Structure 1
Amino acid sequence: MKNRDNSFDFLKGFLIILVVVGHAIQLNYGENSWSNPVFNIIYTFHMPLFIFISGYFFQSSLKRNFKELILNKFERLLIPAIINSLIILLILLISNKFHDITIWQLYNVSKTYWYLICLFVLTIIYYAFFKGNTITKIIIIVAYISSLFFYNRIPVFLFVDCQIIRMFLIMGLGIIYSKYKNNIHHIFVDKILTKVITVFCIVIVITVTRYYYGTNMLNYPIYIRILDGITCSIIAYIILHKTSNICQKYTPKLDKHLIETGKISLGIYLIHVVIGRFITYFKIPLIPEHKIICSILLSLLLYITSVKIIKNIKNKKVKRYLLGG
């Protein structure tokens, strides 16, 4: 059995904290969240990088047969998403005293855990791609390219709101990176000139994108949004990987904490969203005149409360179905 690569747990730990911070800012700023520079930076890479990491570990899925894969991912990803969505729905019903619930509210609840739905679907698609014959591969490639051209006419829930199309390539890059890591490092990392040129080109792409399209990535055309997610994720991965090495050497306690956080990142993702929706639906007053301070305090509240809940759940079945682990 291979030793666990703690550097990826470090990455997941750091990223899930950014997810919590991003949601805390949303709770405070609402529709004006994109005016917050921290929010802008976080949302350029945090979820694409999570998908990239999932792609990196995709090879283990190919060791299962299709039925085993579906059952495993359904239990680990979709069941926790469904259960926590039902909890959110119950909170919504109670907050509205079981009346005046709109279709739009129900729809928003159904796509709460879009990331888990996205990961489930992408895992199946890539499993079919690698296990299937040449015709299967061609169909998947043609379908993806076609989806880019007809992006505004395809079913919204699965492919747009659950971001299947946006995340398809970044997961593929994670799979390629895992398979050819040594060769990629030899070309783009070990050689200083190549590394400098690569980073320079990525920075140019990121800068030009923001010059022409602004900072709100929701306004980007889909192909620009995909490219921006990939480039920002590459830069973030390089920085965070270096940060992991520095923390391991100079701040081992912080390193250990982020690694442990990474190991329960799925649970934190599931629980903190429930707490956030509780605050939203019951309209718990925040501090509008001190948004930055309130965002920091709310981030701490969401993070610490989620970790405490996870650590206090001892029953293995409850952990599996509620927290995905």
Structure 2
Amino acid sequence: MGQRINFIDYAKAIGIFLVVLAHTPLKSEITDWIYVFHMPLFFFLSGYLFDIKRYPTFNGFMVRRFHQLVIPYFLINLFTYFLWLFVFRHYGADSEIAITWYQPMIGFLLGNGNEMIHNVPLWFLLCLFIVEIVFYLIIQHSSVGKIGYILGFLALVGYLNYHYNPILLPFSLGTAVVGIVFYGVGYLCNQYQLLKNHFLGFIISFVITILVASYNGRIYMHINYYNHYLLFFVGALSGIYMMMCLCVYLTKMVKSTFINYIGRNTLLICGFHLMVFSLIKGILLFVFHFNLQSLEQAIIGNVLFAVVAILLCCLLISTYHKGKVLIDHVRNK
């Protein structure tokens, strides 16, 4: 069990690093490659960890995941929205965007990531909640042998919605249908132990992700946009397998509690890293008079920027946890 958790933590840690890196002004070719698989990877990992035996009742599962996903979704949204409203929208790129003060509020109430200009990545929390609730019902009312057929059907529904429905559904429902497929694949991979670590498979899957990124272009799951739908699945599944091979190897070769820590706090890093971006940029610009334009398409500069952002996020998370422990200690006296 410990090795499995390490394996998942490493995958989450590398995955969130790629998420953060993809939000820097990196070269478009690299960003396109990351977008091929980075969000499907997180749906897959969540499904891989799903165990209905831990949650014998649907209501118990829904309440727990509501506290873990939906409440943070609203709290982080409100916090970062007011920061954007009173500070960030008056500086930098946000100051040049014509948007009303209430539009981001409508966006996060409807779960529309495209409208949440103050914190777009938060769409994933609400979408994952919907994915998990629906998948629980699927598991509860279906045998494991039928899940593959259900996932195939949902992939078809996702295609029809993507191809024929021009309206972005509220609460990321369109994306959730596609996300369930990756979540279910992760669940089945765990149930049947389908993941086998092969170096040749790693190389082949890596090459496939590069080819798909080159041909299929940028993917935007938060607005349910996949370009060529079948190629999207080919690239995403190849990228997931590539990451699994890499992380199984790293788990055996490198032992790092810090990587595990990052892996266990990916949702908070997802929610706060753009706020930290603004903080770092402000310090670089106003304190050190650094030319932010020099980061455009700079690989090393943006990698360092992403690393610093994650470190600061971890510092904030650690401070929050220590403060929470202190408050609980005072209350219990």
TM-score tier (shorter): 0.7 to 0.9
Identify if the C-alpha distance between structure 1 residues 167 and 277 changes in structure 2 by more than 3 Å, giving closer, same or farther: farther
Match of 2:64 in 1: 72
Q: Which amino acid aligns with 1:179?
A: Q
**1:13: which partner in 2?**
13
Distance in structure 2 (CA, Å) of the matches to 1:280 and 1:101: 24
SS of residue matched to 1:156: coil
Is 1:63 matched with 2:55?
yes
Give me the whole-angstrom Cα distance separating, in 2, the residues matched to 1:154 and 1:318.
50
CA distance in 2, matches of 1:22, 1:200: 22
> Closer, same or farther in 2 for the Cα pair 1:212/1:93, shift >3 Å?
closer
**Who is 2:112 aligned against?**
none
Q: SS of the counterpart of 2:36?
A: helix
Cα 1:212–1:100 shift into 2, 3 Å: closer
Relative to structure 1, is the Cα distance of residues 13 and 143 closer, same or farther in structure 2, using a 3 angstrom cutoff? closer
User: How far 1:176 moved relative to its partner?
Assistant: 0.3
Q: Does 1:247 align with 2:254?
A: yes
Letter in 2 for 1:164: A
* SS of equivalent residue, structure 2 residue 302: helix
Q: Distance in 2 between matches of 1:52 and 1:155?
A: 26
Share of identical aligned residues, percent? 18
Paired with 2:81 and 2:44, the residues of 1 have a C-alpha distance of 30
1:96-111 to 2 correspondences below 5 Å: 101=100, 104-106=103-105, 107=107, 108-109=115-116
- Residues 269 and 205 of structure 1, relative CA distance in 2, 3 Å threshold: closer
Relative to structure 1, is the Cα distance of residues 162 and 94 closer, same or farther in structure 2, using a 3 angstrom cutoff?
farther
Could you say what secondary structure the match of 1:175 adopts? Answer: helix
Structure 1, unaligned runs of 5 or more: 249-254, 320-325
Deviation of 1:143 after TM superposition, in Å, equals: 5.5
Matching residue of 2:185: 173
Equivalent residues in 2 for 1:173-192 (5 A)?
Answer: 173-181=185-193, 184=194
Equivalence for 1:45: 37
Aligned counterpart in structure 2 of residue 287 of structure 1, from 292, 303, 307 = 292
C-alpha displacement of 1:66: 1.2
**Mean Cα deviation higher: 284-293 or 51-60:** 284-293
| Higher-RCO chain (CA-CA 8 Å, sequence separation at least 6) | 1
- State the distance in 1 between where 2:293 and 2:280 align: 14
Looking at structure 1, the residues matched to 326 and 161 of structure 2 have their Cα atoms a distance apart, in angstroms, of 42
1:294 Cα deviation after fit: 4.4
2:237 matched to 1:238?
no
- Range that drifts further, 104-113 or 121-130: 104-113
Distance change in 2, residues 1:100/1:225 (3 Å): closer
Shift of 1:150: 3.0
- Aligned in 2, Cα 1:233/1:305: closer, same or farther, shift over 3 Å? same
Contact 1:118 1:162 in 2 (8 A): no
Q: Which residue of 2 aligns with 1:322?
A: none
Shift of 1:157: 4.3
| 1: CA distance, partners of 2:274 / 2:130 | 21
Alignment equivalent of 2:80, drawn from 88, 113, 121: 88
Q: For 1:166 and 1:139, how far apart are their aligned partners in 2? A: 12
Identify if the C-alpha distance between structure 1 residues 211 and 116 changes in structure 2 by more than 3 Å, giving closer, same or farther.
closer
Work out the CA distance in 2 between the residues paired with 1:294 and 1:203: 24
Distance of 1:72 and 1:167 partners within structure 2:
20
1:130 maps to a residue whose letter is I
Distance 1:302 1:216 in 2: 24
- Pick the aligned partner of 1:124 from 120, 133, 136: 133
Is the CA contact 1:206–1:232 (under 8 Å) kept in the aligned structure 2? yes
TM-score of the aligned structures, taking structure 1 as reference length: 0.74
RMSD of aligned residue pairs (Cα, Å): 3.8
The 3-state SS of whatever aligns with 1:150 is helix
SS of residue in 2 equivalent to 1:84? helix
- Show the counterpart of 1:225: 232
Q: What is the distance in 2 between the residues matched to 1:52 and 1:74? A: 19
Given the superposition, is the C-alpha separation of residues 229 and 308 from structure 1 closer, same or farther in structure 2, using an over 3 Å criterion? same
Whole-Å separation in 2 of the counterparts to 1:207 and 1:287 = 29
Greater CA deviation, 288-297 or 116-125? 288-297
Q: Distance in 1 between matches of 2:170 and 2:99?
A: 26
Q: Deviations over 1:134-180 (max 9, x none)?
A: 8x988886555233123241651447587313322211110001101
Q: 2:307: which partner in 1?
A: 300
* Closer/same/farther in 2, CA of residues 162 and 14 from structure 1, 3 Å limit: farther
Q: CA deviation at 1:289?
A: 2.8
**CA shift at 1:7, angstroms?**
2.1
Change (3 A) 1:300 1:20: same
Count of matched residue positions in the alignment of Structure 1 and Structure 2: 293
Change (3 A) 1:141 1:102: farther
1:289 alignment partner AA: S
Unaligned runs of 5+ in 2: 91-97, 108-114, 221-225, 328-333
